[in-house]
Amino acid sequence: MLRVEGRIANEDAEFDGAIDIDEQTGLITKVGPCEGRSDVATEGCVIFAGFGDLHVHAREDVSGREMYKEDFASASAAAIHGGVTHFADMPNNPAAPIDDASYAAKEKLTTGAGVHITLYGGIGPGTRPLARAVPYKAFMGPSVGELFFSSPEQLEETIARYRGCNVSFHCEDPLILNSSRGAATHEQRRPAQAEISATRFALQLIEKYELQGKLCHFSTGEGLKDVIAAKARGVKVTCEVTPHHLFFDDTMLSDENRLWLQMNPPLRGREDRLRMIEALRMGAIDYLATDHAPHSLEEKANGTSGVPHLDTYGAFTTWLMVEHRFTAPQIAKVCAANPGRFVQPYLPKGNGKGFGRVEEGYVGSLTVLDLKKPYVVTRESLKTKCGWSPFEGVSFPGSVRHTVVRGRVYSQDGDKR
Ligand SMILES: [Zn+2]
């Protein structure tokens, strides 16, 4: 039995308590009053249900062609380092999981991973839903990989087959991307209008085909108005935001960092960035999801889009708490509870009530953040195979002290156990 005592934060409450986790079942058996016998040190810390990142590109598939960038083992190590206890992996692999057989083959590769991994099934031109329930991802326009649509009609034709399914959308309008191809900068080639237009179309599809929709890596304040209005009229839609769209904006770009901070969708203006922060706080955005996209240093130097994040997830949330006054329950909601609800229908047996809450019967995974000890991000500290971070040199005000995965403790400060 593992005992963890201290300050606990759920989405709806913050309290002092003691958590008992059965290492055999990996589940929480009891949450009760503190008794002064914690197995791990938690002074100055807040204990959350284990964080979940719903948007990761871990690169492993049966082809193995992109495993020089990352694989399930290295992504799991980076996740644990960053306080992430489960994640959901995107399907834009060379051998994309788009039907029952290819999905099952990819799923087999996740069994030895250090954290639980939920796989998205891919939606591309002509695909059909799997026999089993899985979450899906649709790329509306060209990004990284081959799985994308070239017109709205082609997308709708395919989505019509996925009525009632859980579908995540990468919202960038392929027609606008195409007409902006000649612009001077990456930001101008993928303008805000592409996201705004694609968002409207995605919301129409979600409503028309009664999908459980999710909009990935949202970045424009203007597009958010449509999301908020859709939520208000009962459309089943949720929304992600990345650490990079909250931390960086286009006023911070220089010749030096421009290539390193290139991703899809690109960085937007300061106004958009601040609106995303407020939307995350107020609940208009539901998840802090990273779009962890490991590419080699060489690929980045040659202009490949995407940035890695798993190692820095937990420390980044301390920036939201200290710099932007997020409360611990607000963090618990977007980093633990909402991601837990998202993956719950797809969890295999043995996961109790699932992830996302410090309560009896839930998975005994915890993220323990030290709000007193800063983390200066260095290349040497990272576990991701790609070996770099957009936050190198940044000092986050707090750090991950322990990550507990189903009762197993990983400590950053050399605590035993
Ligand atoms: Zn992505």
Gyration radius of the chain's alpha carbons: 20
pLDDT attached to residue 279: 98
Which helix (H) or strand (E) segment holds residue 408: the answer is strand 408-411
Do residues 288 and 239 touch, judged by C-beta distance below 8 A? Answer: no
CA 34 / ligand 1 centre spacing (Å):
41
Task: List the structure tokens of 210.
Answer: 């009664």
For 277-325, the pLDDT digits (tens) are 999 999 999 999 999 999 999 999 999 999 999 999 999 999 999 999 9
Do residues 195 and 210 touch, judged by C-beta distance below 8 A? Answer: no
387: DSSP letter: -
CA 360 / ligand 1 centre spacing (Å):
33
- Residues paired with 399 in a beta bridge: 370
End-to-end CA distance of the chain: 12
pLDDT attached to residue 244: 98
For strand 212-215 and strand 366-370, is the pairing parallel, antiparallel, or unpaired?
unpaired
CA distance 154 to 152: 5
Do residues 294 and 57 touch, judged by C-beta distance below 8 A? Answer: yes
pLDDT attached to residue 140: 75
Write out residues in the chain with pLDDT < 50, as ranges.
415-417
CA 347 / ligand 1 centre spacing (Å):
22
SS3 state of residue 195: helix
Q: How far is CA 415 from the centre of its chain?
A: 28
pLDDT attached to residue 46: 98
CA 359 / ligand 1 centre spacing (Å):
31
CA 48 / ligand 1 centre spacing (Å):
25
CA distance 401 to 372: 10
CA 291 / ligand 1 centre spacing (Å):
5
284: DSSP letter: S
CA 139 / ligand 1 centre spacing (Å):
9
Other CB atoms within 10 Å distance of the CB of residue 186: 19
**Ordered strands of the 212-215 beta sheet:** 121-123, 136-139, 166-170, 212-215, 237-241, 287-288
Do residues 152 and 198 touch, judged by C-beta distance below 8 A? Answer: no
For 312-368, the pLDDT digits (tens) are 999 999 999 999 999 999 999 999 999 999 999 999 999 999 999 999 999 999 999
Strand runs labelled E in 206-332: 212-215, 237-241, 287-288
Q: How far is CA 96 from the centre of its chain?
A: 19
pLDDT attached to residue 84: 98
215: DSSP letter: E
CA 171 / ligand 1 centre spacing (Å):
11
Do residues 24 and 2 touch, judged by C-beta distance below 8 A? Answer: no
pLDDT attached to residue 417: 46
